Amino acid sequence: MRWQQILESKTVTCHQSRIHPPKTKMAFAFQRHCWAHPVLRHLVKLRESAKPRGVPEDIQTQIQTCIDCILARDDYCDEISSPVSEDIDNLIKESESHPWKEAHNEGKVELAVSAAMLSGSLEGTFLKTLVGMSNSKRVLEVGLFTGCGALAMAEALPADGKVVTCELSEYVGDVARKLVDQSPHGKKIEILIGPAKGSLEQLAVERQQFDMVFIDANKEGYIDYYKIIMDNDMLTPRGTILIDNALHGGQAYLPKDKLQLDESRIAQSHVMREFNDYVYNDNRVSQVMVPIRDGVMMIRRKEAFEGEA
Ligand SMILES: C[S@@+](CC[C@H](N)C(=O)[O-])C[C@H]1O[C@@H](n2cnc3c(N)ncnc32)[C@H](O)[C@@H]1O
């Protein structure tokens, strides 16, 4: 199996920042897998400690089999789903080879962004499917990065459809603009640069409404973004809000000592739990948690969620 190569590399660890070799497609995919699966992080740690402690070979093999099974499941979901367009495939490759670290060190990008932020092919196809099956015409995205999700959703829109997307960094927005404009669907994408809160407040003043909203930016901003959208009636009556990273690598549902994460990440552990609780207690909506990738929560107005007797 193709994962074997990366799993057998002694330099791979379960912490994102220490994955080696860094700029390969598999390394980024493995980063994303580890980030999303707390069980995988524990198993990788177990595998690392098994050999030096003299754990019998057959047990070590079983640990490896568990890791392989988790990876094979996600791999299969990706491979058996319809492939992304050539334009999105190209966008993903360009995002993976872009010198993000250098751009950050030179002060061009405010945040330490990386290709691990990409929504990727499986989630891109998922978003495209949802936009198409809901007959959405106007889509709002919070958190653009290089435009993978935005372009996937734009591809499902009619010719007069629109994706309005918010991105903090001008540099990242410029990279995204160039990449999405390589597609004939790029013209449907409008990029708003600056903190998303300000962009959303401006859209609210303009009384703009959206059929589909995809929130995929800084997690501590999610409650604000959700409130601006719901309190200002920015969601069309039958619209849907999609929340990315709703499971947040297990942080939404596991206690800290079960997370197997760096301290810096654990510091944020309450954020997604608080957001999910906020939505759960909001009487205006109904929601479902979909465990794809790092979790996507789908939220709709209660009236839209229920059928008629
Ligand atoms: C996970 S990435 C988005 C991935 C993208 N949706 C996709 O489909 O590939 C998050 C993005 O949100 C941006 N971001 C972070 N904080 C933000 C803020 N306060 N306002 C707007 N964008 C922000 C980051 O610069 C980054 O590009």
Which atom of ligand 1 sits closest to the CA of residue 221?
19
**Ligand 1 neighbours by CB, cut-off 6 Å:** 111, 113, 117-119, 143-145, 148-149, 166-169, 172, 195-196, 216-218, 221
Q: Which atom of ligand 1 is nearest to the CA of 172?
A: 27
**Where is average pLDDT lowest: 145-149, 197-201, 247-251?**
247-251
CA 96, CA 23: separation in Å to the nearest integer?
A: 7
Per-residue pLDDT, averaged over 258-285, amounts to 87
Q: pLDDT per residue over 165-186, tens digit each?
A: 999 999 999 999 999 999 999 9
Rounded distance between C-alpha atoms, residue 119 and residue 125, angstroms: 10
Global pTM reads: 0.90
Reported confidence tier of residue 270, pLDDT bands at 50, 70, 90: confident
Could you tell me the pLDDT band of residue 237, with boundaries at 50, 70 and 90? very high
In angstroms, what is the C-alpha Rg of the chain?
Answer: 20
pLDDT digits (tens, 9 = 90+) for 67-109: 999 999 988 999 999 999 999 999 999 999 999 999 999 999 9
- For ligand 1, atom 8, the nearest C-alpha belongs to 149
Quote the pLDDT of residue 124.
97
The pLDDT score that the predictor gives to residue 246 is 96
Q: Which of 123, 216, 293, 296 to mutate to test the pocket of ligand 1 (most atoms within 8 A of CB)?
A: 216
Range 86-305: architecture per CATH: 3-Layer(aba) Sandwich (3.40)
Please tell me the residue having the least CA distance from ligand 1 atom 11.
143
- Answer whether residue 259 shows pLDDT above 70: yes
Please state at what angle helix 170-180 crosses helix 148-156, rounded to 10 degrees.
40
Q: Are 156 and 126 in contact (CB under 8 A)?
A: no
60 Cα: distance to centroid of ligand 1 (angstroms)? 39
How many Å lie between the centroid of ligand 1 and the Cα of residue 246?
15
* Interval 132-158 mean pLDDT: 98
CA 130 vs CA 16, 133, 139, 164, 228: distances in Å: 30, 5, 11, 17, 23
Q: Give the model confidence (pLDDT) of 5-40 as tens digits.
A: 444 443 333 333 322 333 455 666 666 677 788 999
What atom in ligand 1 is closest to the CA of residue 111? 25
To test the pocket of ligand 1, the residue of 144, 199, 294 to mutate (highest count of ligand atoms within 8 Å of its CB) is 144
Q: Give the pLDDT score at 196.
A: 98
Q: Which atom of ligand 1 is nearest to the CA of 141?
A: 6
Residue 249 CA to residue 232 CA, distance in Å, equals 31
Q: How far is the CA of 146 from the centre of ligand 1 (A)?
A: 9
| Angle at 229 (CA atoms; ends 227, 233), nearest 5 degrees | 115
Q: 151 C-alpha vs ligand 1 centroid, how far in Å? A: 14
Looking from the CA of residue 117, the nearest atom of ligand 1 is 1
Instruction: Give the nearest ligand 1 atom to 124 CA.
Output: 8
Ligand 1 center from residue 143 Cα (angstroms): 3
Q: What is the chain's length?
A: 309
Per-chain mean pLDDT for the chain: 89
Distance 83 CA to ligand 1 centre (A): 24
Q: Which carries the bigger pLDDT value, residue 267 or residue 172?
A: 172
pLDDT greater than 60 at residue 119: yes
The residues spanned by each domain of the chain are: 2-80, 86-305
> Which residue has the least CA distance to atom 13 on ligand 1?
143
